Homo-oligomer: A and B are copies of this chain.
Amino acid sequence: MSQNIYDQGEFFENYIKLDRQTKGLDGAPEWRQLRAMLPELKEAQVLDLGCGFGWFSRFARSEGAAYVRGIDLSAKMLDNARSMTSDDAIAYEKADLENLTLPEMQYDVVFSSLTFHYLVSLPRLVAETSKSLKRGGRLVFSCEHPLFTAPTTPNLVVDQDTGRKAWQIDAYQREGIRTRTWFVGGVQKQHRTVGTYINLLLGSGFRLTDYVEWCPSEEELVKNPGWEVELIRPTFLLIGATKD
């Protein structure tokens, strides 16, 4: 079974205070561009992989989706998600994405936010996702950018003379586990190259249609000076693909 940090008390207490949890989708800076990759959701059959508190699942219904299936490994997240809706057309379900099996040609849209970089068996899930989409159906997902996950030890070094900050890339081509501290120690992520993400899609019958390495606008930088680090290297990769 996958590592389930979300059900650890200390992690959870901090995680729920993030803007993207308290404010929902609009609290996530990358949401506007991710949303632009989505097709019309009216009447759509939707799958939400790693649904968390269900913000996207409820958004899809508010946009007219016929049915939304939200899947997460965390019981705490699902309890929270269920407490926020009484909508019978949303089905929240506890399951491990590492070994999920999906029905054939069922969905119009598969969505996943910041989940894929945790998965060891992502190739398997992408293949299942492809199988589960109708022809012309859309996969829209975000993950941590390979430049963000690449370092064996994440480190933004400041040059003493120039003040120039630099992100230390020491193992871009060495894929695999990266252990990070994020509220708690020992959080395990999977580093994959951009090439691997793209080729997983191309090799599973997808056509790449959208590719965004998220970067704040000048306006957003004025409001959030801390986001300047995003100019050094992106944190988020957003991808849209169509099932052929």
Contact = CB atoms under 8 A, between A and B. Distances in A.
Interface in A185-243: 193-195, 198-199, 202, 207-213, 215, 230-234
A123 to B, nearest CB: 16
Contacts of A172: 147, 231-234
A63 interface: no
A168 B157 contact: yes
Given A198-B208, A208-B208, A193 B213 contact: yes
Interface stretch (A9-17, A159-167, A176-184): A159-167
B193 A169 contact: no
A152 B230 CA distance: 16
B169 A232 contact: yes
A99 interface: no
A174 interface: yes
Contacts of A199: 211
Interface in A112-169: 147, 151-152, 155, 157, 164-169
Interface of A: 147, 151-152, 155, 157, 164-174, 193-195, 198-199, 202, 207-213, 215, 230-234
Given A155-B166, A174-B231, A195-B212, 6 more contacts: A166-B168, A167-B168, A172-B233, A173-B232, A173-B233, A193-B213
